[in-house]
A = this chain, B = another copy of it.
Amino acid sequence: MSIASDLIRGHTETIILSNLLQHDSYGYQINKAIQQKTSGQYELKEATLYTAFRRLEEAGCITSYWGDESSGARRRYYAITTRGRLTFARLKAEWDTAKELIDALIAEEGESYAD
C-alpha cells in the first residue's frame, strides 16, 4: 500500500458517503470505485469497509437493502439518508479545516524572509 492507513483513518466514512451521493451502491463496487479514483494507489480493506457500513447504518446515515440479482452473488445496496448528506457536508468541511491546520503545522518555516 502506498499510503499509511493512519492518514486515512477518520476518512473512511466520508469516502463511503461520498460514493453514495449520486446513486446507491454496494460494498464491492464502492471499493472498485475507490481504486479507480486513486489509480490503484488506495483501497479499503474489506473488514474496514464493512465495519464502516455498520457504523454508518447505526448512526442513521445510510440504509441498506438486498438487491434482487437473478444471477451472480447477492449484493447489499446502501442508500444515503438526509442525515447522511448532512454528515457528509460536515465531514467535508472538517476535512477542509484539518487540511489547512496540518499544512500550517508541518510547513517548513523560514520561507517568509521577506522584510
Segment with Cβ contacts to B, from A51-59, A76-84, A95-103: A95-103
Q: Which residues of B contact A32 (CB under 8 A)?
A: none
Residues B106 and A15 in contact, CB atoms below 8 Å apart: yes
Q: Is the interface of A mostly helix, strand, loop or mixed?
A: helix
State the oligomeric state as a number of copies: 2
Question: How far is A84 from B37 in the complex, measured between Cα atoms in Å?
Answer: 32
Question: How far is A102 from B10 in the complex, measured between Cα atoms in Å?
Answer: 11
Cβ of A48 < 8 Å from any Cβ of B? no
Given A97-B2, A99-B99, A101-B38; A106-B7 close (CB under 8 Å): no
Given A37-B104, A42-B101, A95-B106; A10-B6 close (CB under 8 Å): yes
Additional 7 contacts, C-beta under 8 A, given A15-B102, A15-B106, A41-B97:
A3-B101, A4-B10, A4-B94, A8-B102, A14-B105, A34-B105, A37-B104
Q: Which 5 pairs across A and B sit closest by C-beta, in order of nearness?
A: A6-B10, A7-B98, A18-B106, A15-B105, A7-B10
